[in-house]
């Protein structure tokens, strides 16, 4: 269902980043910490009855840039009851061991104002205290979170494309665990930042987007999302190796509107996972990222495609409405000293989800023309040109089609990452 829900709504926006280190940034932790990983949280639909109690969540994340110490962001932003964290640990995964195992020599207790436990009130989030733990750029981090009390799983990033594990009891510090279940979501976990003064990190690029940025139709446990692959390119470049790439994509996300399923429709069972609109979450998911210097925007395809499928038909959008939304993001980014890059909306003609109509294709072309020619963004990344079929430009190239005509597959993600001209970042 979660893979299908990501298929149902997607939109991609990405751009590049000039003069990353020069601009003042909005910091969620301190001036010495840089975002290396993120997963924006959402609410859950009423049909999601997942509950944890006396269980440990062992969740893995993929780091874009290294540091000598780190902080972890825990979230109860959509919870209706307090989130009691009995204990939390961070460690590097076991090399060559099972997916459930950590390297015990790297295991660190995460503390909160010196305490090993904390409680997050509904609607809040919290960064852990800094802890010394050298990490590897392009490596993984395992965060183990013990939930001693009955805890509804109502703050989530539903489409992780990463296998995570649920085990009985407090096994946060165990070298290996026996999973009671496996999930491909991240619960109560939304960010990792590393110290830029003791590692390689010096700035963060945030990729704001929908399921195309989130990684829909990529292979689970391979980190083939285009932001991950872009981070690989940056690490190979001497001038850009210190740039963290923070993924702020949410499957089904729209630029202009929050989820709004028609009452009684099937969308009521999944639309909440689509998250608040890009306009609403911009402060938290972009400006609030530690060390943020630039942002790419790949949003709009779900604004075009959702009406009549997962939203009322009255929410059909025009090119002018989308352009006005982009202008708002540009103004807000510039007010905070961030560069902002616009990404063209990728093709979806012939999709199997019901997104494509002749009018929506015309709107997409008008929006893309504006992104390319207006000069409103600091730079443009032409993802449309990177993944379209030259013989049928309204469609994805068959070799890049994830199967539904809307989402690129692993090869398409690689083409998108390659389409970002690194010289723009310099």
Q: Is the pLDDT of residue 10 over 70?
A: no
User: What are 264-297's pLDDT values in tens digits?
Assistant: 999 999 999 999 999 999 999 999 999 999 999 9
User: What are 354-383's pLDDT values in tens digits?
Assistant: 999 999 999 999 999 999 999 999 999 999
| Contact (Cβ atoms closer than 8 angstroms) between residue 227 and residue 213 | yes
User: What are 382-397's pLDDT values in tens digits?
Assistant: 999 999 999 999 999 9
> Could you give the maximum distance between any two Cα atoms of the chain, in Å?
61
User: What are 323-365's pLDDT values in tens digits?
Assistant: 999 999 999 999 999 999 999 999 999 999 999 999 999 999 9
Q: What is the token pair recorded at 222?
A: 């391979």
Rounded distance between C-alpha atoms, residue 389 and residue 392, angstroms:
5
For the domain covering 1-32+196-426, report its CATH number.
Answer: 3.40.50.1110
Mean pLDDT for all residues in the chain = 92
Mean pLDDT, residues 409-419: 98
Q: Is the pLDDT of residue 15 over 60?
A: no
Residues 6+ apart with CB under 8 A from 398: 389
At 32 the pLDDT is 85
Of all residues in the chain, the percent with pLDDT exceeding 90 is: 90
SS3 of 257-305: CCCCCCCCCHHHHCHHHHCCCHHHHHHHHHHCCCCEEEEEEECCHHHHH
Mean pLDDT, residues 192-207: 82
Q: What is the token pair recorded at 151?
A: 């805890």
| Contact (Cβ atoms closer than 8 angstroms) between residue 61 and residue 143 | yes
Mean pLDDT, residues 178-196: 96
At 197 the pLDDT is 54
Q: Is the pLDDT of residue 220 over 50?
A: yes
Q: What is the token pair recorded at 393?
A: 């430009």
Domain parsing of the chain, residue ranges: 1-32+196-426, 49-191
User: What are 63-104's pLDDT values in tens digits?
Assistant: 999 999 999 999 999 999 999 999 999 999 999 999 999 999
What are residue 16's phi and psi, to 5 degrees?
Answer: -110, 175
At 201 the pLDDT is 73
User: What are 18-59's pLDDT values in tens digits?
Assistant: 333 333 333 344 458 999 999 999 999 999 999 999 999 999
At 425 the pLDDT is 83
At 31 the pLDDT is 58
At 13 the pLDDT is 31
């Amino acid at each position: 269902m979660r893979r299908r829900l990501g298929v149902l709504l997607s939109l991609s926006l990405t751009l590049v980043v000039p003069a990353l280190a020069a601009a003042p940034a909005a910091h969620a932790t301190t001036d010495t910490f840089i975002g290396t990983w993120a997963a924006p949280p959402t609410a859950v639909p009423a049909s999601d009855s997942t509950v944890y109690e006396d269980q440990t969540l062992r969740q893995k994340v993929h780091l874009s840039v290294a540091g000598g110490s780190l902080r972890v962001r825990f979230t109860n932003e959509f919870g209706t009851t307090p989130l009691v964290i009995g204990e939390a640990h961070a460690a590097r995964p076991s090399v060559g061991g099972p997916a459930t195992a950590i390297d015990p020599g790297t295991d660190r207790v995460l503390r909160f104002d010196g305490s090993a436990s904390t409680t997050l009130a509904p609607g809040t989030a919290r960064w852990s205290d800094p802890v010394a733990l050298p990490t590897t750029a392009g490596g993984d981090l395992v965060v183990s979170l013990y939930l001693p009390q009955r805890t509804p799983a109502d703050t989530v990033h539903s489409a992780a494309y990463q296998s995570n594990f649920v085990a009985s009891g407090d096994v946060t510090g165990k070298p290996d665990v026996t999973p009671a279940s496996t999930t491909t979501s991240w619960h109560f976990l939304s960010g990792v930042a590393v110290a830029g003064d003791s590692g390689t990190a010096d700035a963060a690029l945030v990729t704001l987007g929908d399921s195309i940025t989130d990684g829909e139709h990529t292979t689970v446990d391979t980190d083939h999302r285009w932001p991950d692959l872009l981070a690989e390119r940056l690490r190979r470049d001497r001038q850009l190796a210190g740039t963290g790439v923070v993924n702020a994509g949410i499957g089904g996300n729209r630029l202009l509107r929050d989820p709004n399923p028609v009452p009684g429709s099937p969308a009521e069972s999944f639309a909440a996972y689509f998250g608040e609109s890009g306009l609403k979450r911009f402060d938290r998911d972009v400006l609030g990222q530690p060390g943020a210097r630039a942002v790419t925007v790949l949003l709009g395809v779900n604004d075009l495609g959702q009406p009549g499928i997962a939203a009322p038909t009255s929410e059909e959008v025009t090119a002018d409405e989308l352009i006005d939304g982009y202008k708002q993001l540009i103004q807000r980014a510039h007010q905070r000293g961030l560069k902002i890059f616009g990404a063209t909306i990728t093709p979806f003609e012939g999709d199997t989800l019901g997104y494509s109509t002749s009018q929506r294709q015309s709107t997409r072309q008008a929006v893309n023309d504006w992104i390319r020619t207006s000069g409103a963004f600091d730079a443009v990344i032409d993802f449309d040109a990177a993944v379209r079929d030259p013989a049928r430009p309204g469609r994805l190239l068959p070799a890049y089609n994830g199967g539904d005509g809307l989402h690129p597959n692993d090869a398409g993600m690689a083409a998108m990452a390659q389409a970002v001209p690194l010289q723009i970042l310099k």
